[in-house]
Structure 1
Amino acid sequence: MIHSPKLVDVGSAERCLQHPHNIIVHYCTSHDEVGCSECTSKNHSACAVESVDSIAVGTIDSVEYKHLIKELTEVKHQAEENEKAALDNKLKSDKSLSSTMLDVRTFKNDINAHLDQMEKEIENQAKDANVEYKIAMDEKISESKNVQKNVEKCLKEFKDLETKATRLFIKITRRKMDLLKFRHDSERYKPAPAQCFSFKPNVRLSDIFRTSNNLGKLEIGQECQGLVSVTDPTEKLTVVVNEKQTRRGTNKPVAQKELCSVNQVLKTNEVNSDFGTVMRDSTEKENSKYDVDTNSETNSVVFEDNGGPNLQINADGKLIVKLFSDKEDCDISGIDMISDNELVLADYNNRSVKVLDMIKNKITHEMKLEYHPYDLTVPCTNTVAVTLTNTIQIITKSHLLRLGDSITVDGECYGITSSRTKYFVSFIKPVPKVAILNHQGDVLQTFSSDHIKRLAIKRPRYLDISPDEKYIYVTDFGKDCIIQLSASGELINTFSDASILNGPYGLHVDERGCVLVCNYGNDNIYEFSADLSKHRIVLSKSDGVESPQVIFMCNKEEKLYIASTDSADCNEIQVFSHYECSKL
């Protein structure tokens, strides 16, 4: 339908963009365009043209107008969201940058701390050698002075007798043997050339810094999903931004900037990586790499006893814990889990704490200690507490293992376990007891024969707590028993049967509340109910268990880890997979 143009208020009319002196009066339905009379006559003479005023009637209620308003509103909302997201991304990027740079500084500080530690060790080695040498020289000085003193005495005697020929002759005759002795002593205490120190740098360590131009690699992605530091000491350090995308493999990072590509970073207290060597001992040591022992037979047994079947356990291989640098066979006296893929171990014989990567079956960290470690626990992420005679030593793990604070205790401590706020510690001297300490080392409670009626502890060893922290379980190696205490200090129960327990050592309370005990003397593992009233053998010598010392269960991975001592398996941790069948 064609409408005739109406009179238009020129002041409020829209002007034509092509002919600004004209106002818009027509709409071409064929081209969906508006224009003035001149536009219509030139470009739309053959088209269906209508009056703008006529066709505009009802526009505000039209579907097209409502749809346009909706779309514009959506676009405006999207722009607002984009602005908000961009502002938020700026904050996230700043936060991510701060976190990443903190990781970089932490890594650098760890390296510096490790270098300082290695420098201190080599300095102590050199000083000890110098002290020994000076002691030897002092001995030669002292003996040389004695020779001088005796010779001077002899010369004086001769001088005094020069006017008395007979007595001089007798004295000379008697002193001839002394002269031989003086000459022998003088030659005997003649010092060798002076001790001289020189330094041979660790070539591998030197090559790392000589061939590396950076500290690590930074990957910048489209969206920061979180910062993850790859700390595998056998691979180059990478700080990954946008970890989720790169692991999925769906998107590549938008850009990559290399901070560093150190192919062999300073290996975390790197097993056998020293600062250098004083030439008095120039032996360099190499890292050891181990493979999973897949040749062990796999047995599957369902154990049944008073309460019916409970755990099915399968032999699942072995983890190698001995290092090339270890001077003794291992004696793993403590096990705990420090991360999803890592066990932390106390090696009593080699005076060290080791971190074992279970996926690679490889020791990745080692820290040498001044004293033999008895047991350890992981009270919180990347923190280990180790019992060392009269001290609980804190060790932290980042890229390296580092010594933290130490807690001095009032006796020789042995076993240790922990909760989020407390340590539970057994003491063997001077008074056998169990103590509860906070993480600052303050003693909260003490349980001994002097404090609890009917409690007779002789040689407490390992201990653990129930999942709800209501009970403490302790093995007593001296009385061949297991003791159950309440957290408030009451004796709940004691299991003692010489036909069953023979040297109980390590124990672990699982998430069901059942107690797994290393029965050292009888070469088996016992499982006890929470109240110690029921029990059964779950592993024995026929399963390859011999002289078991410590045990740890990872419920998440459904794995059981057992370390033995005084056996052929002392340099390995036996791994068993398990699953729950029914409650004991």
Structure 2
Amino acid sequence: MKQRVAKSATSLKDAIAEIENFRTDINKRLDELEKEVKDTATTIHHDNNKMLKKTETACDNINRSLQASADTLKHLNTNKKTDQLFTELKSAQQQILHNENIAKQLPTTNDVDEYNFEPNHAIKKLLQNEKSLGALRKKEIKQPAQPKNKAAVPMKMTTSRNINVKTSSDTKECHITGITISPQNQLFVADYDNKSIKMIDINSEEIKQLQIESKPRDVTIVTRDTLAVTLPGTIQFISFSSNSLSLKNKLKVDGYCYGISHHQGKFAVTFILPVKLQIMDLKGNSKITVEKDSNGDSIFSDPGYVITNSHSIYVSDEIKNKVKWFNWQGEMIGRTVDIYGPMGISLLDDGSFFVSDAWDNCIYRVSGDCKDRTTILKDVKDLPQAICWCAETSTFYLSTYRSKSKVRYNDIKVYKMV
């Protein structure tokens, strides 16, 4: 009941926030349009004033010259200086002709732009015809089943193949710290040591590579054509297509971020300095920060990878030897029994998840409630790190590190599940 009351309150809060954000976006756009038309009016006014000032100055000069000439003629006429008067009259006549030519070239009142404002009828009509700012609709969310306490049906992995992700432009051996896969079956990896994101065509194994400013930690799919990558102090967005990668905008964050997972317009991001989990929107606005429990003790020691679905957030903590389970309100619901060195996490459709154990050299499948686990893969030759599960093809991808042969860093191990 408490959870439902909290959900109701959160639903109201989220709906009001969305309404206010929508109104803010409308106001912002209207402010931009208002500024544009005001700037245009100001420019016209400035041009008019500039032209009128020029005319005013010219008229003042003509008036002064005519007044000076008239004063001279009056003086000469009063003093009966006929010869000088004749000469001055001729000069005045020339001055008048010169001033007439200047006056003819000056802008007239017809040259001044007068204007009024004509509203955009499309906007006016829209506001008159619309009856509501928007609609409130019941969320069509499938009620998630409670994660099962028992491990799911066992899965068996076939013999692996390797995909070599080292390219000719790499200056070091690869260290793959993040893996994700797109709906188009493009594999994306974060190469920490070579400061790059790589896109691999799974069939041809062709690689496209994008250099970035610093060492990436993790990568997640945001939309059909956008990735998000964690860097020290930054989340970098990257655009991708079938054959290219390019940098987009980036978000500044308040710490050294590590793992990242996206779900329905929200990020769950882990930080290793300071140690915490943050839930934020796609603009980087922090919604919830998880650091300490009710006793004031730190929840994490070394939060690494994070994965999410509609009702759960799972975070691996290598030092505390556990995967911890949270809801989207930041409340810890459960945790696994000890796993020696939990690292990469990947979700299955039934709510269970895979986790790599870097120190026991194995891969576990853990039930969604974190109470039960089975070993899916054991005796991995090199220490397993990042993992990714593709449900469509029943394929499991795994990166390793700290192997005796550094060349093995360059391979993504690929397993088929049966």
Q: Does 1:483 align with 2:319?
A: no
Q: Deviations over 1:169-195 (max 9, x none)?
A: xxxxxxxxxxxxxxxxxxxxxxxxxxx
Q: Identify the residue that residue 559 of structure 1 maps to in structure 2.
A: 395
> Matched residue of 2:385: which SS?
strand
CA distance in 1, matches of 2:384, 2:206: 22
CA distance in 2, matches of 1:308, 1:529: 7
385-394 or 485-494, which deviates more = 485-494
Structure scoring higher RCO (CA < 8 A, sep ≥ 6) equals: 2
CA distance in 2, matches of 1:400, 1:512: 33
CA distance in 2, matches of 1:410, 1:355: 28
Q: Identify the residue that residue 371 of structure 1 maps to in structure 2.
A: 214
Q: 1:480 to 1:330 in 2, by over 3 A?
A: same
CA distance in 2, matches of 1:452, 1:351: 40
Q: Check whether the contact 1:474–1:484 (CA below 8 A) recurs between aligned residues.
A: yes
Q: Check whether the contact 1:524–1:546 (CA below 8 A) recurs between aligned residues.
A: no
Within the candidate set 513, 516, 520, 2:351 is matched to: 513
Q: 1:483 to 1:374 in 2, by over 3 A?
A: same
Q: Quick check: which has more Rg, 1 or 2?
A: 1
Within the candidate set 373, 377, 393, 1:535 is matched to: 373
Q: Identify the residue that residue 286 of structure 2 maps to in structure 1.
A: 443
Q: Check whether the contact 1:452–1:490 (CA below 8 A) recurs between aligned residues.
A: no
Taking every aligned residue pair, what percent have the same amino acid on both sides?
30
Counterparts of residues 212-361 of structure 1 (less than 5 Å): 307=151, 309-361=153-205
Q: Deviations over 1:457-512 (max 9, x none)?
A: 1110001013xx21110001121111011111211112242xxx222111111111
Q: Check whether the contact 1:525–1:539 (CA below 8 A) recurs between aligned residues.
A: yes
- Equivalent residue letter for 1:578: M
Q: 1:439 to 1:306 in 2, by over 3 A?
A: closer
Q: Identify the residue that residue 92 of structure 1 maps to in structure 2.
A: none
CA distance in 2, matches of 1:437, 1:525: 30
Q: Does 1:396 align with 2:239?
A: yes
CA distance in 1, matches of 2:315, 2:385: 14
| Number of corresponding residues | 266
CA distance in 2, matches of 1:482, 1:433: 14
Q: Deviations over 1:341-381 (max 9, x none)?
A: 31011000111000001100221x11111110000101111
Aligned-pair CA distance for 1:447: 1.1
Aligned-pair CA distance for 1:518: 0.8
- Moved segments of 4+, more than 3 Å: 305-309, 450-455
- Equivalent residue letter for 2:411: E
- Equivalent residue letter for 1:435: Q
Q: CA RMSD of the aligned region, Å? A: 1.9
User: Normalised by the size of structure 2, how large is the TM-score?
Assistant: 0.61
Q: Deviations over 1:298-344 (max 9, x none)?
A: xxxxxxx9757421221241111111221111111111113423101
Q: Identify the residue that residue 267 of structure 2 maps to in structure 1.
A: 423
CA distance in 1, matches of 2:178, 2:209: 14
Q: Identify the residue that residue 577 of structure 1 maps to in structure 2.
A: 416
Q: 1:537 to 1:408 in 2, by over 3 A?
A: same
CA distance in 1, matches of 2:355, 2:151: 18
> Matched residue of 2:157: which SS?
strand
Q: Identify the residue that residue 383 of structure 2 maps to in structure 1.
A: 547
CA distance in 2, matches of 1:494, 1:566: 27
Counterparts of residues 72-221 of structure 1 (less than 5 Å): none
The gaps in structure 1 that reach 5 residues or longer are 1-304, 580-584
CA distance in 2, matches of 1:502, 1:338: 30
- Equivalent residue letter for 1:395: I
Q: 1:368 to 1:565 in 2, by over 3 A?
A: same
Within the candidate set 370, 377, 383, 2:226 is matched to: 383
Aligned-pair CA distance for 1:536: 1.4
CA distance in 1, matches of 2:297, 2:414: 38
Q: Identify the residue that residue 93 of structure 2 maps to in structure 1.
A: none
CA distance in 2, matches of 1:564, 1:554: 18
- Equivalent residue letter for 1:536: T
CA distance in 2, matches of 1:532, 1:310: 16
User: Normalised by the size of structure 1, how large is the TM-score?
Assistant: 0.44
Q: Does 1:471 align with 2:315?
A: no
Aligned-pair CA distance for 1:407: 0.3
> Matched residue of 2:246: which SS?
strand
The gaps in structure 2 that reach 5 residues or longer are 1-148
